[in-house]
Structure 1
Amino acid sequence: MAVRNNPTGRQLRLGAELRKLRERAGLTSTAASQLLGMKQAQVSNMETGRVGVSAERVRTLACHYACSDKALVEAIADMTGDRRRGWWEEYREILPTGLLDLAEVEHHATRLCTAITVHIPGLLQIPDHARELIHQVVPEFPPPDVEHRVSFRIKRQAVLFRDPPTPYLAIVHEAALRMQFGGPDVTKRQLRHLLDMGERDHITVKVIPFAAGSFPGSGQSLFYSSGQVPQLDTVHLDQSHGPTFLDAEAQLEMYRVLLDRWEAIALDVTRSRDLIHNVIRDL
């Protein structure tokens, strides 16, 4: 089988999950290759996403690795399917790989959640708001690159409109509502769009008011993508140098706790909508 030079984020994650199964079984890659009757390089290539793996091969590996978690095994097996090129591939030579990986994660997620303090979540941004944010990146992007990034961000929002749409929870701090990116007119249109999207049954928008004071993780923004089983969840942190993806069990648990605390101090949906209306009136 041909070896991939540039596996996608999902292919890398599949390989990483196979490595975790092996390591939980207490096997080295050499011992696993002997047990499976294959070369050690084949095991290594599977675990680095450099070669494709069939669903049946995943089940065979899980059997040899004595994994009894059937839900996890089937969820990993499902990751081998749907090998069609996603829409994000048209940006492969244009945008950083991390952004394409983010679109791929969103596409396959069973639920999405964003917790953010100074920006409107990307999945709920209007083009003018997104354009203003992207213009502020240092070093500054040339105009064509700005437009590529704007169009890419808007296309990512398709997960909220497909059938069935992906459930989405957006926890936004009041500071993000009052940041006038693009001026008052753009801000008003952005906040009205936020209200409109929040009326959809699968989208929940909650606001943390200034009055809530300090709270854990207030200095960061995070994106949480749920997989078919909790072990396949992913955390995306938006860094100035590019996106970072986390999937270690301890990391996932920490960010689940943070999200629970953010949601606990946020206003309920009705009071969140009232606050957004108040901000619009203040502009």
Structure 2
Amino acid sequence: MPPVNNPTLRQRRLGAELRKLRERAGLTVTQAAAHLGVNQGRVSMIETGRSALSADRVRTMASVYDCADVDLITALAAMTGRRTRGWWEEYREHLPAALVDLAELEHHATGLRVALAMHIPALLQTTDHARALFRAVVPPMRPYEIEHRLAHRIRRQGILHRDTPPPYSAIIHESALRMGFGGPDVAHGQLGHLLDMSELPHVTVRVIPFGAERYPSTGQSFDYIKGAVPQLDTVQLDTHHGGCGFLDAEAQLSKYRAVLDRMESCALGTDASRDFIRKLMRDM
């Protein structure tokens, strides 16, 4: 089977998880190859996401690596096969790979938790608000680049409107709500859209006001993307150079779960948050 060129984040993650299982079993690449009946190069390609796998092969590797976690094995087996031709693949030639990978992660997510200090969450933005954000990027984008980014962002939002959407929880600092991107009319429309989205049964919006006694974060925006099992969760960090940073080490996941829990403890309740947003709209 030919190697996979430019593996996606999902394919690389599958390989990385299989490497973790091998290392926990105390096996070298050479030893694993011997047990699996393949050469060392095949094992290395699997662990870098460059070799397509079948579900049966994953189960065989899990058995060789003495992994008894049935839920994890099932989740890894579901990640096999060649690249899924999802809608996001249409953008792979036009956008940074990390943005395309983020859309794929969101598509497969079982839940999403986000925290933002200066921006409205991407999946809750209006078209006008998002366009104003892209026009403010440094260095400036060309008009066609803005439209590619905008179309991609709007299509990402589709996961919140499908038949079985994942639970979505957003913690937003008051400063993000007061940013006037696009001018008063756009800002007012954005807050109204945020209110509408917060009424959906699977969407939770909570506000941390300026008057909160503490804010347990550095102010960096991040998404916590839940996988089929906790071991396959991912944290996505926004970066100033225009890409996305992805974290998946167990210690990192544990840290960001704790940060989100602490932030929720500082935030207003859902009803109080909606009242807070309505007051901001009246005061504009």
State if a TM-score over 0.5 links the two structures: yes
Moved more, 9-18 or 74-83: 74-83
SS at match of 1:166: coil
Question: Equivalents in 2 of 1:108, 1:129: separation in Å?
Answer: 26
Stretches of structure 2 that go unaligned for 5 or more consecutive residues are none
Q: Which amino acid aligns with 1:114?
A: V
Q: Which amino acid aligns with 1:219?
A: G
Moved more, 181-190 or 218-227: 218-227
Matched, 1:266 2:270: no
Question: Equivalents in 1 of 2:77, 2:258: separation in Å?
Answer: 28
Shift of 1:82: 8.1
Match of 1:21 in 2: 21
Per-residue CA shift, 1:150-175, capped at 9, x if unaligned? 11111100110111111100110111
Shift of 1:239: 0.3
Matched, 1:221 2:221: yes
| Identity across the alignment (%) | 60
Shift of 1:137: 1.2
Stretches of structure 1 that go unaligned for 5 or more consecutive residues are none
Runs of 4+ in 1 over 6 A off after TM superposition: none
SS at match of 2:204: strand
> Is contact 1:117–1:218 with CA below 8 Å preserved after alignment?
no
Match of 2:46 in 1: 46
> Is contact 2:116–2:219 with CA below 8 Å preserved after alignment?
no
Match of 2:91 in 1: 91
Question: Equivalents in 1 of 2:215, 2:170: separation in Å?
Answer: 17
Question: Equivalents in 2 of 1:25, 1:215: separation in Å?
Answer: 41
**TM-score between the two structures when normalised by the length of structure 1:** 0.98
SS at match of 1:123: helix
Shift of 1:213: 3.7
Q: Which amino acid aligns with 2:251?
A: A
Shift of 1:218: 3.8
Q: Which amino acid aligns with 1:281?
A: R
Match of 1:136 in 2: 136
SS at match of 2:15: helix
Shift of 1:214: 3.3
Q: Which amino acid aligns with 1:8?
A: T
Per-residue CA shift, 1:183-222, capped at 9, x if unaligned? 1100010000000000000000100011114322142111
Matched, 1:34 2:68: no
Question: Equivalents in 2 of 1:29, 1:235: separation in Å?
Answer: 28
Moved more, 208-217 or 107-116: 208-217
